[in-house]
Amino acid sequence: FCVWWDADTLRETLDGTTVSKWSWTSSANNSILSPAGLTSNNGTKSTPCLSADLFGDWREEIIWRTTDNLNLRIYTTTTLATNRFYTLMHDPQYRCAIAWQNTGYNQPPHPGFYLGSDMFPPPVAPISSADLVWRGGGANTWDPGTTANWYTNGVWVSNNTAVPFINGRSALFDLSGSNNTAISIVSIGASLTPSQVTVHSWKDYSFAGTGKLSGAMKLIKAGAAKLTINNTNDYTGPTIVSGGSLFVNGALNASAVTVERRGTPEGPSQFGGAGQLGNGLTVQAGCTLTVGTGTNSPGTLTVTYGVTLSGSVLNQFDLSADPTGLTNANDRVNIAGNLVLKGTNTIEIKQLAGNLGGGVYPLFTYTGALTGGLTNLTLSGTFIQPVSLTNPPGMIGLFAVVPAAPPNAPTNLVAGAVNAFQINLVWNDNSTNEAAFLIERSLNGINFSQIASVAGGTTLYPDTGLTANTTYYYRIRGTNLAGASGYSPIASATTTAAPPNLTWRGDGNSNVWDIATTPNWWNGTSLTFYGDGAFVTFDDSGSNSPTIALTGTISPGSVTVNATKSYTLGGTGVLAGTNGIVKSGSGTFTLAGNNTFSGGSTINAGTLQLSAATAAGTGGITNNSGGTLRINGALTVDNPMDQNGSVTLDLASAGGNTAVRGAWTGSGTVTIINQQNSSRTFTIGGGGLGGGHMWNFSGTVDFGVNAGSFRINNDNTTYNFGSSNATFNVGTGTGGLNQRNGGTTTHLGALLGGPNTRLSGRGGTGTSGTTTYSIGGKNLNTIFEGQISNGSGTTAITKVGTGVFTMAGNNIYSGTTTVSAGTLLVTGDSANATGAVTVGSSAKLGGTGVIGGSTTVNGTLAPGVNGLGTLGFSGDLSFNSGATALFEISKNPFANDQVAVGGAVTYAGALDVVNTSPDLLEAGDNFQLFSASAYNGEFTTFDLPSLELGLAWNTTSLTTDGRLWVVSTNAPLISGAQNNGGNLDISGSGGTPNWNYFVLSSTNLSLPPAQWSRIATNQFDGVGGFFFSVTPDPAAPQAFYFLQAQ
């Protein structure tokens, strides 16, 4: 069972009467609620009576029965949530799920949209408080006060009487309206002025007619269907597209249009049309802008006051073969204002004629400024001619080239048989203007048919899947918009005979693998010789002792290893050709020579062992789940590696340093074992094949219990910058991770490691400069318990991504720390990490440790970790405007979050305080939120817990001693005054316990308090009582006294 319980959007597990939280870092399910005296239901299913969002706030409540079956108890979370969206009961599927929970095999309830990490805002709930709902009929006329085409919304009776529309009412168009969804808006004497129009339906609607929508109304388009506006409107409220499509072919002359990206089921919204917008258009990330009235219907969309494309926006244009648009129309957007481009947006071109004409197609024209540029745009489409985006003044356009003449014919076509099933073609390209080469094939050299089309500039084509021992004839020609070239001369080749399938037997004596000399192979009926091109297999039937001795250059068609026993390929020969190796079975297959085969190696099971640097040839190594790659020696292996599933990289306790310098891809978990000792270095990436990088690797590197160094890059040229999609687990041993070169930014998608691990900067003699680690791009929550240090150069840390990164170690690096996104928790002692710390405007800093550098907060500072705690700062702490200090306090037990600053604290921004205890606060309660050597500035806004009548928060002490007080707003009561030997003793009660007060005196009661004399400063006692004694002046005619709270 599952339940949304805490403040993040990930779901917790509910088993029996226990709610648990899965920890991705420790792989443990930790209990967060396990009340006593309760019983679950349904035997082995152990479900509650009900789990549902009963009280609102989107988190769910749980109902259990007591063990005596006499009571039902409802449990609700007490965890503060800062994310805000509507209750789950707004969602119709969720409401149904509450009913099916106890009848549909005890399934937990699920909403109809994705609720989880990186979710989009939920879709607009299909719940409406509109005054009127459209029914329609006949001519479908919408006019003010005449035609009865509306029902009163929310009245569910059979005799609900149709009524006319009254201006000022809100209107809803849903799926209950007339199946004739073309609405004719007619204004009789006055415009239509609804307060709001909501179109939330799964069927399409359209607005047309001579009338218009006016006033300050808002238009909301939700639901998966399409709304088309064909009339002219001048309402001034916003138009929000929250789901489905809105096409404007008429005009919205005064409404600002926003296209929202919401979650399923409505998904990304679409806006389009060939009309006019008078108050700007903003398209949020992930949505679609379709120019024109629809696909294959080009038109011009005109927008005043600017257009903003927020990134990942798909812009769809239909273009004819006429760039001018005079003969054949094209889509375009004319903007009277600014064009703002953010992120990367796609321009998708549909070629209505199958090709484009020569010239510049205006896509966006604008009269104002351009923010961004062509780097914020990418082009999509299948083009048969050179095209590019261009940015002349006031325009984003598409430049298309039409060649003046057909290309020259290709020459020197050569066909060569590679094996029984493949012929390779090569030719000379004699042009620079071909769009494609058309490849034709024949079995008789007379009747040809086209088999492929390849891009212009290509001079090689492998024709595969052929029949063995067959002659094929080929010819090719180039083509472009101006026509086709002549044909190349005909070339032919004959595929070889089908190679045999051979299985290794060996002789158990010399075990030689040679060509046509030693009969060590089984063809299914007898022993035979090996010939190049054969498909060879090693299984448990062959001899594996002594080592198989390769002799000469051996080029098999393929090598398949499926054995539980182990084999070694040694000798003086070379395994060559285009073949690959597929390793299955639990045994070990060892490649001991320096081979050149290019087909790659695939490990499906068991171990592939490399005993020479080039043992695996030049192809990639694919390690699939359950496989092990063993580097048997102090080797530098340059093969690209594709890691899939749970795999092992075995360093074989080599007596030296090891490197795998090829590019890494895949999404597997790679566990590294058997690094010899702490003096050894294992290097990932560098000058190997495939670029030597890890950017396309999205899995996990787990350094396990190893003790040595794990280095990124192997020389002064930086090839490997890590991967923002990969997890780097430095393990549970004493291993350390470092980037060899300074002046670099290395991306660690997620970082974790045990308490004795290390992350350091530039290693050894690498290039100089600061080594920056960008941590968190994979958006996971991870804890690094090890130490972060400088290495031989300065180390800096940048926290990115939406997850939580916890520094639990005692860090000593001196570079800057930048929290750009997500949350950074410091729970270790970083007092010796002396670089400046900056918290970005959308990021959060928290923890219970010590931060060494001076810290500037532009986002949120929240001390503590899942509870109250103290976060220390060795230097200064400064809040900028827009920052938030978020603290939790508790009445019972009496405690609070605290920030301990060794230097000065400078306040600004907002102070938010949350009371985690149900107990009521009382006058005299005070909480030391800050301690510092000096207090500067002040918070400008406060969000503090509500208090009982007669109480108030006092924030004045924050600027003197960092305390926040609850004070009484009621005046203290004087209960006694008596003459005591010439002194006047005055006592009373009702003050704020332990709060300071002043005693003021005057002989003139009519003077304002500011002109009274302060004669004493005292403090209320622990229950709010007070006592002070004064000596009246005998010469004064009278004296008056009163108390003033500080």
pLDDT tens column, 24-54: 777 788 888 899 999 888 767 788 888 889 9
Least confident span in 125-129, 284-288, 633-637, 938-942: 125-129
Q: Which amino acid is at 449?
A: S
pLDDT band at 661 (very low <50, low <70, confident <90, very high): very high
Q: Which two tokens stand for residue 637?
A: 């292996």
Condensed to tens digits (0 to 9), the pLDDT of residues 1020-1043 reads 888 888 888 888 888 888 888 888
pLDDT band at 1008 (very low <50, low <70, confident <90, very high): confident
DSSP per-residue string spanning 2-19: EE--SSSSSPEEEETTEE
pLDDT over 70, % of the chain: 98
Gap between the Cα atoms of 445 and 475, Å rounded:
9
Task: Say whether both 852 and 868 belong to one domain.
Answer: yes
Residue 146 lies in a domain: no
- DSSP E strands in 10-112: the ranges are 12-15, 18-23, 28-33, 38-39, 50-52, 61-66, 72-75
Specify whether the CB–CB gap between 652 and 633 falls below 8 A.
yes
Gap between the Cα atoms of 241 and 249, Å rounded:
15
Condensed to tens digits (0 to 9), the pLDDT of residues 273-282 reads 999 999 999 9
Length of the chain counted residue by residue? 1046
Condensed to tens digits (0 to 9), the pLDDT of residues 154-178 reads 887 777 889 999 999 999 999 888 8
Distance from chain centroid for Cα 525: 59
pLDDT number for residue 104? 67
Gap between the Cα atoms of 422 and 495, Å rounded:
7
Least confident span in 561-575, 707-721, 834-848, 912-926: 707-721
Q: Break the chain down into helix, strand, coil percent, rounded to 5.
A: 5, 45, 55
User: Residue 148 pLDDT > 60, yes or no?
Assistant: yes
- What is the pLDDT averaged over residues 100-107? 74
pLDDT band at 959 (very low <50, low <70, confident <90, very high): very high
pLDDT number for residue 586? 97
- DSSP E strands in 644-721: the ranges are 646-650, 658-660, 664-666, 669-673, 681-684, 696-697, 700-702, 709-712
User: Residue 580 pLDDT > 80, yes or no?
Assistant: yes
Task: Say whether both 913 and 961 belong to one domain.
Answer: yes
**Bigger pLDDT: 1 or 212?**
212
In order of 7, 278, 777, the CA distances from 806 in angstroms are: 18, 49, 14
Task: Say whether both 863 and 790 belong to one domain.
Answer: no
Domain that holds residue 1023: 973-1045
User: Residue 955 pLDDT > 60, yes or no?
Assistant: yes
Task: Say whether both 935 and 1028 belong to one domain.
Answer: no
- What is the pLDDT averaged over residues 843-858? 97
| Cβ contacts of 564-570, under 8 Å, gap ≥ 24 | 564/540, 565/540, 566/590, 567/504, 567/538, 567/542, 568/544, 568/592, 568/611, 569/513, 569/593
Q: Which H or E run contains 399?
A: strand 395-400
Gap between the Cα atoms of 701 and 706, Å rounded:
13
Residue 707 lies in a domain: yes
pLDDT band at 188 (very low <50, low <70, confident <90, very high): very low
User: Residue 318 pLDDT > 70, yes or no?
Assistant: yes
Condensed to tens digits (0 to 9), the pLDDT of residues 685-710 reads 888 888 888 989 999 999 999 988 89
Task: Say whether both 650 and 711 belong to one domain.
Answer: yes
Task: Say whether both 328 and 417 belong to one domain.
Answer: no
pLDDT number for residue 390? 96
User: Residue 405 pLDDT > 80, yes or no?
Assistant: yes
- What is the pLDDT averaged over residues 326-330? 94
Domain count, the chain: 6
* CATH code of the domain covering residue 1004: 2.60.40
End residue of a domain, out of 100, 119, 136: 100
Task: Say whether both 754 and 795 belong to one domain.
Answer: yes
Task: Say whether both 689 and 722 belong to one domain.
Answer: yes
Gap between the Cα atoms of 772 and 749, Å rounded:
13
User: Residue 757 pLDDT > 90, yes or no?
Assistant: yes
Q: Which H or E run contains 100?
A: helix 92-100
* CATH code of the domain covering residue 473: 2.60.40.10
Residue 697 lies in a domain: yes
Condensed to tens digits (0 to 9), the pLDDT of residues 585-616 reads 999 999 999 999 999 999 999 999 999 999 99
Q: Which two tokens stand for residue 408?
A: 């020259």
pLDDT band at 190 (very low <50, low <70, confident <90, very high): low
Would you call 958 exposed, middle or buried from its count of C-beta atoms within 10 A (0-12, 13-18, 19+)?
A: buried
**Bigger pLDDT: 138 or 298?**
298
Task: Say whether both 396 and 415 belong to one domain.
Answer: no
**Bigger pLDDT: 542 or 179?**
542
End residue of a domain, out of 940, 969, 998: 969
Specify whether the CB–CB gap between 640 and 616 falls below 8 A.
no
Gap between the Cα atoms of 351 and 356, Å rounded:
7
Residue 170 lies in a domain: no
Residue 167 lies in a domain: no
Can you say whether residue 232 is alpha, beta or left, with left for phi > 0 and alpha for psi between -120 and 50 degrees?
beta
pLDDT band at 764 (very low <50, low <70, confident <90, very high): low
Q: Which two tokens stand for residue 812?
A: 């000593």
Task: Say whether both 396 and 421 belong to one domain.
Answer: no
User: Residue 189 pLDDT > 60, yes or no?
Assistant: no
Least confident span in 30-34, 749-753, 801-805: 30-34
pLDDT number for residue 538? 97
Gap between the Cα atoms of 384 and 356, Å rounded:
9
Q: pTM of the full predicted structure?
A: 0.58
pLDDT band at 443 (very low <50, low <70, confident <90, very high): very high
Residue 188 lies in a domain: no
Gap between the Cα atoms of 407 and 487, Å rounded:
11
Task: Say whether both 805 and 722 belong to one domain.
Answer: yes
pLDDT number for residue 843? 96
End residue of a domain, out of 769, 788, 815: 815
User: Residue 501 pLDDT > 60, yes or no?
Assistant: yes
Q: Mean pLDDT over all residues of the chain?
A: 91
Gap between the Cα atoms of 445 and 63, Å rounded:
81
Residue 111 lies in a domain: no
Specify whether the CB–CB gap between 991 and 1025 falls below 8 A.
yes
Question: Which residues fall within 8 angstroms of residue 409, CB to CB, at 6 or more apart?
Answer: 430, 477, 478, 485, 486, 487, 488
CA dihedral 3, 7, 9, 14 (to 10 degrees): -20
Least confident span in 353-357, 750-754, 1032-1036: 1032-1036
Gap between the Cα atoms of 124 and 242, Å rounded:
7
Q: Which two tokens stand for residue 472?
A: 């094929």
- What is the pLDDT averaged over residues 844-849? 97
Residue 634 lies in a domain: yes
Task: Say whether both 978 and 965 belong to one domain.
Answer: no
Least confident span in 180-194, 294-308, 381-395, 399-413: 180-194
Gap between the Cα atoms of 782 and 823, Å rounded:
11
